Structure 1
Protein backbone atom coordinates (compact mmCIF):
# COMPACT_ATOMS: atom_id res chain seq x y z
CA UNK A 1 0.00 0.00 0.00
CA UNK A 2 1.16 3.53 -0.72
CA UNK A 3 1.80 6.24 1.81
CA UNK A 4 -1.19 8.02 3.33
CA UNK A 5 -1.62 11.35 1.53
CA UNK A 6 -0.49 14.26 3.66
CA UNK A 7 -3.03 16.39 1.80
CA UNK A 8 -6.16 15.10 0.12
CA UNK A 9 -8.77 17.30 -1.54
CA UNK A 10 -12.04 15.87 -2.82
CA UNK A 11 -14.55 17.82 -4.92
CA UNK A 12 -13.59 21.20 -3.49
CA UNK A 13 -15.68 24.13 -4.69
CA UNK A 14 -15.09 27.67 -3.43
CA UNK A 15 -16.65 31.05 -4.19
CA UNK A 16 -15.59 34.63 -3.62
CA UNK A 17 -18.70 36.76 -3.69
CA UNK A 18 -20.82 35.57 -6.61
CA UNK A 19 -17.88 34.13 -8.56
CA UNK A 20 -16.79 30.50 -8.32
CA UNK A 21 -13.00 30.55 -8.08
CA UNK A 22 -12.37 26.84 -7.43
CA UNK A 23 -14.64 24.28 -9.06
CA UNK A 24 -14.78 20.57 -8.14
CA UNK A 25 -11.03 20.16 -7.53
CA UNK A 26 -9.70 16.80 -6.35
CA UNK A 27 -6.05 15.96 -5.75
CA UNK A 28 -3.73 14.34 -3.23
CA UNK A 29 -0.12 14.93 -2.26
CA UNK A 30 2.09 12.45 -0.42
CA UNK A 31 5.17 12.83 1.80
CA UNK A 32 8.33 13.55 -0.15
CA UNK A 33 6.68 15.46 -2.99
CA UNK A 34 7.28 19.00 -4.15
CA UNK A 35 4.22 19.97 -6.17
CA UNK A 36 4.12 23.17 -8.21
CA UNK A 37 0.70 24.75 -8.60
CA UNK A 38 0.70 26.84 -11.78
CA UNK A 39 -1.80 28.74 -13.88
CA UNK A 40 -2.64 32.23 -15.15
CA UNK A 41 -3.67 35.04 -12.83
CA UNK A 42 -7.13 34.30 -11.47
CA UNK A 43 -6.81 30.55 -11.97
CA UNK A 44 -7.70 29.84 -8.33
CA UNK A 45 -4.26 28.91 -6.97
CA UNK A 46 -4.23 31.26 -3.98
CA UNK A 47 -7.85 30.51 -3.12
CA UNK A 48 -7.14 26.79 -3.13
CA UNK A 49 -4.14 27.20 -0.84
CA UNK A 50 -6.08 29.42 1.54
CA UNK A 51 -8.91 26.88 1.68
CA UNK A 52 -6.41 24.16 2.65
CA UNK A 53 -5.16 26.44 5.43
CA UNK A 54 -8.70 26.88 6.70
CA UNK A 55 -8.69 30.60 5.89
CA UNK A 56 -11.55 30.30 3.40
CA UNK A 57 -14.65 28.16 3.86
CA UNK A 58 -15.49 26.06 0.80
CA UNK A 59 -18.98 25.75 -0.63
CA UNK A 60 -18.56 22.01 -0.96
CA UNK A 61 -16.07 19.18 -0.90
CA UNK A 62 -13.55 18.05 1.68
CA UNK A 63 -9.96 18.74 2.69
CA UNK A 64 -8.02 16.15 4.69
CA UNK A 65 -4.69 16.67 6.42
CA UNK A 66 -2.97 13.39 7.21
CA UNK A 67 -6.31 11.59 7.01
CA UNK A 68 -8.15 14.03 9.32
CA UNK A 69 -10.96 16.22 8.03
CA UNK A 70 -9.81 19.84 8.10
CA UNK A 71 -13.19 20.98 9.45
CA UNK A 72 -12.65 18.91 12.62
CA UNK A 73 -9.22 20.38 13.41
CA UNK A 74 -8.79 23.35 15.71
CA UNK A 75 -6.22 26.11 15.11
CA UNK A 76 -3.56 24.34 17.18
CA UNK A 77 -3.89 21.05 15.28
CA UNK A 78 -3.84 22.89 11.95
CA UNK A 79 -0.69 24.73 12.99
CA UNK A 80 0.98 21.42 13.82
CA UNK A 81 -0.07 19.89 10.50
CA UNK A 82 0.88 22.67 8.09
CA UNK A 83 2.93 25.82 7.65
CA UNK A 84 1.78 28.60 5.36
CA UNK A 85 3.95 31.12 3.51
CA UNK A 86 1.59 33.76 2.06
CA UNK A 87 2.31 36.13 -0.82
CA UNK A 88 2.18 39.13 1.51
CA UNK A 89 5.65 39.41 3.04
CA UNK A 90 4.83 42.02 5.66
CA UNK A 91 5.65 41.72 9.36
CA UNK A 92 3.59 43.82 11.75
CA UNK A 93 6.31 44.64 14.28
CA UNK A 94 9.97 45.55 13.96
CA UNK A 95 11.19 42.54 15.90
CA UNK A 96 14.66 41.01 15.57
CA UNK A 97 14.70 38.49 12.75
CA UNK A 98 15.38 35.54 15.04
CA UNK A 99 12.28 36.33 17.12
CA UNK A 100 10.11 36.43 14.00
CA UNK A 101 11.50 33.07 12.84
CA UNK A 102 11.04 31.56 16.31
CA UNK A 103 7.32 32.21 15.99
CA UNK A 104 7.28 29.32 13.53
CA UNK A 105 8.37 26.95 16.30
CA UNK A 106 5.49 27.97 18.53
CA UNK A 107 5.11 24.52 20.12
CA UNK A 108 8.67 24.45 21.48
CA UNK A 109 9.91 25.99 24.70
CA UNK A 110 11.56 29.42 24.21
CA UNK A 111 15.14 28.10 24.19
CA UNK A 112 14.25 25.30 21.79
CA UNK A 113 12.33 27.67 19.53
CA UNK A 114 15.28 30.06 19.40
CA UNK A 115 17.70 27.23 18.55
CA UNK A 116 15.33 25.97 15.85
CA UNK A 117 15.03 29.51 14.49
CA UNK A 118 18.80 29.98 14.31
CA UNK A 119 19.17 26.67 12.47
CA UNK A 120 16.48 27.73 9.98
CA UNK A 121 18.15 31.10 9.40
CA UNK A 122 21.43 29.33 8.73
CA UNK A 123 19.60 26.98 6.35
CA UNK A 124 18.53 29.94 4.20
CA UNK A 125 21.97 31.55 4.50
CA UNK A 126 20.64 34.38 6.65
CA UNK A 127 22.23 33.67 10.02
CA UNK A 128 23.95 37.06 10.00
CA UNK A 129 20.51 38.72 10.06
CA UNK A 130 19.44 37.15 13.35
CA UNK A 131 19.67 40.27 15.50
CA UNK A 132 18.59 42.82 12.91
CA UNK A 133 15.14 44.36 13.01
CA UNK A 134 12.76 43.25 10.27
CA UNK A 135 12.16 46.86 9.20
CA UNK A 136 15.88 47.19 8.43
CA UNK A 137 15.88 44.28 5.96
CA UNK A 138 15.58 44.41 2.20
CA UNK A 139 12.72 42.64 0.47
CA UNK A 140 14.94 39.70 -0.43
CA UNK A 141 16.26 39.41 3.14
CA UNK A 142 12.74 39.53 4.53
CA UNK A 143 11.70 36.76 2.12
CA UNK A 144 14.48 34.57 3.49
CA UNK A 145 13.49 35.07 7.11
CA UNK A 146 9.81 34.36 6.34
CA UNK A 147 10.85 31.15 4.60
CA UNK A 148 12.98 30.33 7.64
CA UNK A 149 9.92 30.82 9.88
CA UNK A 150 8.06 28.20 7.84
CA UNK A 151 11.01 25.83 7.92
CA UNK A 152 11.35 26.26 11.69
CA UNK A 153 7.83 24.95 12.20
CA UNK A 154 8.75 21.39 11.26
CA UNK A 155 5.21 20.91 9.91
CA UNK A 156 4.71 17.98 7.59
CA UNK A 157 2.98 20.11 4.95
CA UNK A 158 4.39 23.39 3.65
CA UNK A 159 2.09 25.60 1.56
CA UNK A 160 3.96 28.42 -0.19
CA UNK A 161 2.05 30.99 -2.24
CA UNK A 162 4.37 32.56 -4.81
CA UNK A 163 7.47 32.16 -2.60
CA UNK A 164 9.86 33.52 -5.27
CA UNK A 165 7.83 36.54 -6.38
CA UNK A 166 9.95 39.68 -6.50
CA UNK A 167 13.23 37.88 -5.78
CA UNK A 168 16.37 38.08 -7.89
CA UNK A 169 17.50 34.87 -9.66
CA UNK A 170 19.88 33.88 -6.86
CA UNK A 171 17.13 34.30 -4.28
CA UNK A 172 14.65 32.32 -6.37
CA UNK A 173 17.03 29.40 -6.68
CA UNK A 174 17.86 29.44 -2.96
CA UNK A 175 14.18 29.33 -1.96
CA UNK A 176 13.33 26.48 -4.32
CA UNK A 177 16.47 24.53 -3.45
CA UNK A 178 15.55 24.68 0.24
CA UNK A 179 11.97 23.63 -0.41
CA UNK A 180 13.17 20.81 -2.66
CA UNK A 181 15.54 19.63 0.09
CA UNK A 182 12.71 19.61 2.64
CA UNK A 183 10.57 17.51 0.30
CA UNK A 184 13.48 15.12 -0.28
CA UNK A 185 13.76 14.74 3.51
CA UNK A 186 10.12 13.64 3.75
CA UNK A 187 8.06 16.79 4.14
CA UNK A 188 5.39 17.72 1.61
CA UNK A 189 5.60 20.99 -0.28
CA UNK A 190 2.92 22.64 -2.41
CA UNK A 191 4.10 25.91 -3.97
CA UNK A 192 2.26 28.15 -6.39
CA UNK A 193 4.56 29.52 -9.07
CA UNK A 194 4.19 31.79 -12.08
CA UNK A 195 7.54 30.85 -13.59
CA UNK A 196 6.90 27.67 -15.56
CA UNK A 197 10.60 27.10 -16.18
CA UNK A 198 11.28 27.02 -12.43
CA UNK A 199 8.29 24.75 -11.89
CA UNK A 200 9.59 22.40 -14.56
CA UNK A 201 13.07 22.40 -13.01
CA UNK A 202 12.22 21.85 -9.35
CA UNK A 203 8.82 20.17 -9.08
CA UNK A 204 8.20 16.45 -8.86
CA UNK A 205 4.65 17.14 -10.06
CA UNK A 206 2.99 20.08 -11.72
CA UNK A 207 -0.71 20.83 -11.29
CA UNK A 208 -2.07 23.25 -13.88
CA UNK A 209 -5.15 25.27 -12.92
CA UNK A 210 -7.25 27.45 -15.19
CA UNK A 211 -10.53 29.19 -14.36
CA UNK A 212 -10.80 27.30 -11.08
CA UNK A 213 -10.33 23.84 -12.53
CA UNK A 214 -7.41 21.39 -12.72
CA UNK A 215 -6.40 21.09 -16.36
CA UNK A 216 -3.36 18.83 -15.90
CA UNK A 217 -1.61 16.95 -13.11
CA UNK A 218 1.56 14.94 -13.57
CA UNK A 219 5.33 15.06 -14.04
CA UNK A 220 6.47 18.41 -15.47
CA UNK A 221 6.97 17.20 -19.05
CA UNK A 222 3.52 15.62 -19.05
CA UNK A 223 1.58 18.40 -17.29
CA UNK A 224 3.26 21.16 -19.30
CA UNK A 225 2.48 19.51 -22.62
CA UNK A 226 2.34 21.49 -25.88
CA UNK A 227 -1.47 21.44 -25.75
CA UNK A 228 -1.60 22.79 -22.18
CA UNK A 229 1.04 25.43 -22.85
CA UNK A 230 -0.95 26.62 -25.84
CA UNK A 231 -4.49 26.39 -24.43
CA UNK A 232 -3.85 27.67 -20.89
CA UNK A 233 -0.88 30.01 -21.26
CA UNK A 234 -0.75 31.00 -24.93
CA UNK A 235 2.81 29.68 -25.13
CA UNK A 236 4.86 27.19 -27.07
CA UNK A 237 7.71 25.36 -25.39
CA UNK A 238 10.69 23.11 -25.99
CA UNK A 239 12.34 20.70 -23.58
CA UNK A 240 16.13 20.80 -23.76
CA UNK A 241 18.81 18.75 -22.00
CA UNK A 242 20.44 20.82 -19.26
CA UNK A 243 23.26 20.11 -16.82
CA UNK A 244 20.79 19.45 -14.00
CA UNK A 245 18.09 17.78 -16.09
CA UNK A 246 15.48 18.80 -18.68
CA UNK A 247 15.00 22.55 -19.19
CA UNK A 248 11.81 24.12 -20.52
CA UNK A 249 12.18 27.09 -22.86
CA UNK A 250 9.10 29.16 -23.67
CA UNK A 251 7.91 31.50 -26.39
CA UNK A 252 4.67 33.44 -26.83
CA UNK A 253 2.39 32.16 -29.56
CA UNK A 254 0.91 35.57 -30.19
CA UNK A 255 0.76 39.07 -28.79
CA UNK A 256 -1.90 40.22 -26.35
CA UNK A 257 -3.70 42.13 -29.13
CA UNK A 258 -4.02 38.90 -31.14
CA UNK A 259 -5.59 36.80 -28.36
Structure 2
Protein backbone atom coordinates (compact mmCIF):
# COMPACT_ATOMS: atom_id res chain seq x y z
CA UNK A 1 0.00 0.00 0.00
CA UNK A 2 3.04 2.26 -0.43
CA UNK A 3 3.59 5.06 -2.92
CA UNK A 4 7.17 4.84 -4.22
CA UNK A 5 8.76 7.59 -6.26
CA UNK A 6 12.19 6.49 -7.45
CA UNK A 7 14.53 8.86 -9.31
CA UNK A 8 11.57 10.45 -11.04
CA UNK A 9 12.46 13.04 -13.66
CA UNK A 10 10.87 15.31 -16.25
CA UNK A 11 12.67 17.61 -18.65
CA UNK A 12 10.62 20.71 -17.75
CA UNK A 13 11.44 20.85 -14.02
CA UNK A 14 12.16 17.64 -12.14
CA UNK A 15 15.38 15.66 -11.75
CA UNK A 16 15.74 12.41 -9.80
CA UNK A 17 13.26 12.97 -6.97
CA UNK A 18 12.74 9.91 -4.75
CA UNK A 19 10.57 9.29 -1.69
CA UNK A 20 7.99 6.90 -0.26
CA UNK A 21 4.65 7.54 1.45
CA UNK A 22 2.08 5.40 3.23
CA UNK A 23 -1.72 5.46 3.44
CA UNK A 24 -2.74 7.53 6.44
CA UNK A 25 -0.06 10.15 5.79
CA UNK A 26 -0.53 13.76 4.80
CA UNK A 27 2.53 14.52 2.67
CA UNK A 28 3.48 18.12 1.89
CA UNK A 29 5.46 18.92 -1.27
CA UNK A 30 7.45 22.10 -0.63
CA UNK A 31 9.74 24.36 -2.62
CA UNK A 32 10.15 27.87 -3.96
CA UNK A 33 8.35 29.08 -7.09
CA UNK A 34 9.50 26.99 -10.05
CA UNK A 35 11.09 24.28 -7.90
CA UNK A 36 8.99 21.52 -9.50
CA UNK A 37 6.11 20.98 -7.06
CA UNK A 38 3.33 21.15 -9.67
CA UNK A 39 5.35 19.06 -12.11
CA UNK A 40 5.70 16.36 -9.46
CA UNK A 41 1.95 16.30 -8.78
CA UNK A 42 1.20 16.22 -12.52
CA UNK A 43 3.52 13.23 -12.88
CA UNK A 44 1.84 11.48 -9.95
CA UNK A 45 -1.66 11.93 -11.35
CA UNK A 46 -0.76 11.19 -14.98
CA UNK A 47 -1.12 14.64 -16.53
CA UNK A 48 2.57 14.36 -17.48
CA UNK A 49 4.60 11.28 -18.38
CA UNK A 50 8.01 10.89 -16.68
CA UNK A 51 11.19 10.98 -18.73
CA UNK A 52 12.96 8.78 -16.20
CA UNK A 53 12.45 6.83 -13.00
CA UNK A 54 9.73 4.63 -11.55
CA UNK A 55 6.40 5.52 -10.00
CA UNK A 56 4.43 2.82 -8.20
CA UNK A 57 1.34 2.84 -6.01
CA UNK A 58 0.10 -0.33 -4.32
CA UNK A 59 2.80 -2.17 -6.29
CA UNK A 60 1.36 -0.98 -9.62
CA UNK A 61 3.29 1.01 -12.20
CA UNK A 62 1.24 4.20 -12.48
CA UNK A 63 2.49 4.91 -15.99
CA UNK A 64 0.71 1.74 -17.15
CA UNK A 65 -2.69 2.62 -15.65
CA UNK A 66 -5.34 4.03 -17.98
CA UNK A 67 -6.90 7.44 -17.47
CA UNK A 68 -10.17 5.74 -16.53
CA UNK A 69 -8.48 3.64 -13.86
CA UNK A 70 -6.71 6.70 -12.48
CA UNK A 71 -10.09 8.39 -12.15
CA UNK A 72 -11.17 5.57 -9.84
CA UNK A 73 -7.88 5.57 -7.96
CA UNK A 74 -7.30 9.22 -7.10
CA UNK A 75 -8.80 12.68 -6.75
CA UNK A 76 -6.82 15.61 -8.15
CA UNK A 77 -7.00 19.35 -7.57
CA UNK A 78 -4.83 21.24 -10.12
CA UNK A 79 -3.17 24.52 -9.25
CA UNK A 80 -5.23 26.33 -11.90
CA UNK A 81 -8.42 24.42 -12.75
CA UNK A 82 -9.97 24.89 -16.18
CA UNK A 83 -12.44 27.78 -16.14
CA UNK A 84 -16.03 26.58 -16.42
CA UNK A 85 -17.68 29.91 -17.25
CA UNK A 86 -21.32 30.26 -16.29
CA UNK A 87 -22.03 26.70 -15.13
CA UNK A 88 -23.94 26.40 -11.86
CA UNK A 89 -22.00 24.98 -8.93
CA UNK A 90 -24.40 22.07 -8.38
CA UNK A 91 -24.18 21.12 -12.07
CA UNK A 92 -20.38 21.43 -11.96
CA UNK A 93 -20.21 19.04 -9.02
CA UNK A 94 -22.65 16.62 -10.64
CA UNK A 95 -20.40 16.52 -13.72
CA UNK A 96 -17.58 15.40 -11.43
CA UNK A 97 -19.51 12.21 -10.68
CA UNK A 98 -19.19 11.01 -14.28
CA UNK A 99 -17.13 7.81 -14.60
CA UNK A 100 -17.16 7.16 -10.86
CA UNK A 101 -18.58 3.84 -9.67
CA UNK A 102 -20.90 5.02 -6.89
CA UNK A 103 -23.99 3.28 -5.58
CA UNK A 104 -25.49 6.54 -4.22
CA UNK A 105 -24.13 9.53 -6.19
CA UNK A 106 -26.61 11.91 -4.53
CA UNK A 107 -25.36 10.90 -1.09
CA UNK A 108 -21.77 11.43 -2.21
CA UNK A 109 -22.59 14.89 -3.53
CA UNK A 110 -24.24 15.82 -0.24
CA UNK A 111 -21.18 14.57 1.65
CA UNK A 112 -18.73 16.90 -0.08
CA UNK A 113 -21.13 19.84 0.07
CA UNK A 114 -21.42 19.34 3.82
CA UNK A 115 -17.69 18.80 4.25
CA UNK A 116 -16.73 22.05 2.48
CA UNK A 117 -19.76 24.00 3.77
CA UNK A 118 -20.77 25.21 0.30
CA UNK A 119 -24.56 24.86 0.53
CA UNK A 120 -25.06 28.58 -0.14
CA UNK A 121 -23.05 28.39 -3.37
CA UNK A 122 -24.91 25.58 -5.14
CA UNK A 123 -27.31 27.68 -7.21
CA UNK A 124 -24.75 30.31 -8.15
CA UNK A 125 -22.54 30.13 -11.24
CA UNK A 126 -18.80 29.70 -10.99
CA UNK A 127 -18.06 32.98 -12.75
CA UNK A 128 -20.00 34.86 -10.06
CA UNK A 129 -17.96 33.42 -7.19
CA UNK A 130 -14.93 34.96 -5.54
CA UNK A 131 -11.56 33.27 -6.00
CA UNK A 132 -11.80 31.67 -2.57
CA UNK A 133 -15.32 30.41 -3.18
CA UNK A 134 -14.25 28.89 -6.48
CA UNK A 135 -11.34 27.18 -4.75
CA UNK A 136 -13.62 25.56 -2.18
CA UNK A 137 -15.91 24.31 -4.96
CA UNK A 138 -12.96 22.79 -6.85
CA UNK A 139 -11.73 21.12 -3.66
CA UNK A 140 -15.21 19.67 -3.16
CA UNK A 141 -15.12 18.23 -6.68
CA UNK A 142 -11.68 16.69 -6.04
CA UNK A 143 -13.10 14.97 -2.95
CA UNK A 144 -15.92 13.32 -4.91
CA UNK A 145 -15.53 9.56 -4.99
CA UNK A 146 -13.93 9.23 -1.56
CA UNK A 147 -10.69 8.08 -3.23
CA UNK A 148 -7.91 6.35 -1.33
CA UNK A 149 -5.41 8.87 -2.72
CA UNK A 150 -5.90 12.62 -2.96
CA UNK A 151 -3.52 15.06 -4.70
CA UNK A 152 -3.98 18.80 -4.22
CA UNK A 153 -1.87 21.55 -5.77
CA UNK A 154 -1.93 24.61 -3.49
CA UNK A 155 -5.35 23.86 -1.94
CA UNK A 156 -5.30 27.00 0.26
CA UNK A 157 -4.71 29.45 -2.62
CA UNK A 158 -7.14 32.42 -2.48
CA UNK A 159 -8.63 31.29 0.84
CA UNK A 160 -8.93 33.54 3.88
CA UNK A 161 -7.51 32.38 7.20
CA UNK A 162 -10.71 30.66 8.37
CA UNK A 163 -11.05 28.58 5.21
CA UNK A 164 -7.31 27.82 5.05
CA UNK A 165 -7.64 26.16 8.44
CA UNK A 166 -10.93 24.51 7.49
CA UNK A 167 -9.50 23.01 4.29
CA UNK A 168 -6.34 21.78 6.01
CA UNK A 169 -8.46 20.21 8.75
CA UNK A 170 -10.56 18.45 6.09
CA UNK A 171 -7.43 17.11 4.38
CA UNK A 172 -5.95 16.08 7.74
CA UNK A 173 -9.17 14.18 8.47
CA UNK A 174 -8.89 12.39 5.11
CA UNK A 175 -5.43 11.15 6.07
CA UNK A 176 -6.63 10.17 9.55
CA UNK A 177 -9.22 7.95 7.83
CA UNK A 178 -6.37 6.00 6.23
CA UNK A 179 -6.10 7.80 2.91
CA UNK A 180 -2.89 9.05 1.34
CA UNK A 181 -3.04 12.83 0.88
CA UNK A 182 -0.33 14.59 -1.13
CA UNK A 183 -0.29 18.40 -1.33
CA UNK A 184 1.88 21.11 -2.78
CA UNK A 185 2.08 23.96 -0.27
CA UNK A 186 3.67 27.39 0.03
CA UNK A 187 2.68 28.06 3.64
CA UNK A 188 5.41 26.46 5.74
CA UNK A 189 3.46 27.06 8.96
CA UNK A 190 0.52 25.03 7.67
CA UNK A 191 2.90 22.36 6.40
CA UNK A 192 4.59 22.05 9.81
CA UNK A 193 1.26 22.02 11.64
CA UNK A 194 -0.70 19.51 9.57
CA UNK A 195 1.69 17.29 7.60
CA UNK A 196 3.21 13.99 8.72
CA UNK A 197 5.95 14.06 6.10
CA UNK A 198 7.49 16.77 3.94
CA UNK A 199 9.29 16.55 0.60
CA UNK A 200 11.40 19.66 -0.07
CA UNK A 201 12.44 20.28 -3.68
CA UNK A 202 15.08 22.79 -4.73
CA UNK A 203 15.58 23.57 -8.42
CA UNK A 204 14.06 20.26 -9.46
CA UNK A 205 16.08 18.11 -7.07
CA UNK A 206 15.17 16.55 -3.75
CA UNK A 207 16.76 18.60 -0.96
CA UNK A 208 15.22 16.85 2.05
CA UNK A 209 12.35 14.56 3.03
CA UNK A 210 11.01 13.29 6.31
CA UNK A 211 9.26 14.64 9.38
CA UNK A 212 8.61 18.41 9.42
CA UNK A 213 11.23 19.10 12.12
CA UNK A 214 13.87 17.25 10.10
CA UNK A 215 13.07 19.07 6.85
CA UNK A 216 12.37 22.64 7.95
CA UNK A 217 15.86 23.29 9.28
CA UNK A 218 17.67 26.63 9.09
CA UNK A 219 20.07 25.26 6.48
CA UNK A 220 17.31 23.84 4.26
CA UNK A 221 15.20 27.01 4.43
CA UNK A 222 18.22 29.13 3.58
CA UNK A 223 19.04 27.01 0.54
CA UNK A 224 15.52 26.47 -0.79
CA UNK A 225 13.89 29.82 0.04
CA UNK A 226 16.78 32.20 0.79
CA UNK A 227 15.24 33.01 4.18
CA UNK A 228 15.96 32.60 7.85
CA UNK A 229 13.11 31.69 10.14
CA UNK A 230 11.87 32.08 13.66
CA UNK A 231 9.32 29.49 14.73
CA UNK A 232 6.58 30.21 17.26
CA UNK A 233 5.20 27.07 18.91
CA UNK A 234 2.07 26.75 21.07
CA UNK A 235 -0.26 23.96 22.11
CA UNK A 236 -2.42 24.86 19.07
CA UNK A 237 0.37 24.46 16.53
CA UNK A 238 3.28 26.37 15.00
CA UNK A 239 3.77 29.41 12.81
CA UNK A 240 6.72 30.88 10.97
CA UNK A 241 8.18 34.38 11.08
CA UNK A 242 10.47 34.57 8.03
CA UNK A 243 13.04 37.20 7.18
CA UNK A 244 15.37 37.67 4.24
CA UNK A 245 18.92 36.45 4.52
CA UNK A 246 21.26 39.40 5.03
- Fold-level match, TM-score > 0.5? yes
Q: How does 1:49-128 map to 2 (within 5 A)?
A: 49-106=41-98, 107-108=100-101, 112-128=104-120
Alpha-carbon separation, structure 1, partners of 2:89 and 2:106: 11
Unaligned runs of 5+ in 2: none
State the partner residue of 1:9. Answer: 5
The question of whether the paired residues in 2 share the 8 Å contact of 1:239 and 1:247 is answered with yes
What TM-score results when the alignment is normalised by the length of structure 1? 0.88
State the partner residue of 2:227. Answer: 235
How many pairs does the alignment contain?
245
In structure 1, the residue corresponding to 2:10 is in which secondary structure? strand
Alpha-carbon separation, structure 2, partners of 1:15 and 1:160: 22
1:180-215 alpha-carbon deviations (Å, 9 max, x no partner):
111111111111111111111111111110011111
The question of whether the paired residues in 2 share the 8 Å contact of 1:12 and 1:22 is answered with yes
The question of whether the paired residues in 2 share the 8 Å contact of 1:102 and 1:152 is answered with no
> Residues 108 and 100 from structure 1, CA distance in 2 versus in 1: closer, same or farther, beyond 3 angstroms?
farther
1:121-180 alpha-carbon deviations (Å, 9 max, x no partner):
111111222222222222111111111111112111111111112222122112111111
The question of whether the paired residues in 2 share the 8 Å contact of 1:200 and 1:248 is answered with no
1:15-49 alpha-carbon deviations (Å, 9 max, x no partner):
12xxxx11111111111111111111111111111
What TM-score results when the alignment is normalised by the length of structure 2? 0.93
Alpha-carbon separation, structure 2, partners of 1:191 and 1:97: 24
The question of whether the paired residues in 2 share the 8 Å contact of 1:96 and 1:130 is answered with yes
Alpha-carbon separation, structure 1, partners of 2:162 and 2:132: 10
State the partner residue of 1:220. Answer: 212
Alpha-carbon separation, structure 2, partners of 1:40 and 1:58: 21
Moved more, 184-193 or 126-135: 126-135
The question of whether the paired residues in 2 share the 8 Å contact of 1:65 and 1:81 is answered with no
The question of whether the paired residues in 1 share the 8 Å contact of 2:84 and 2:126 is answered with no
Q: How does 1:60-209 map to 2 (within 5 A)?
A: 60-106=52-98, 107-108=100-101, 112-209=104-201
In structure 2, the residue corresponding to 1:43 is in which secondary structure? coil
The offset of 1:94, in angstroms, is 2.5
Structure 2 counterpart of 1:24, from 6, 16, 19: 16
In structure 2, the residue corresponding to 1:105 is in which secondary structure? coil
State the partner residue of 1:257. Answer: none
Q: How does 1:34-49 map to 2 (within 5 A)?
A: 34-49=26-41
Moved more, 95-104 or 227-236: 95-104
Unaligned runs of 5+ in 1: 255-259
Alpha-carbon separation, structure 1, partners of 2:237 and 2:156: 21
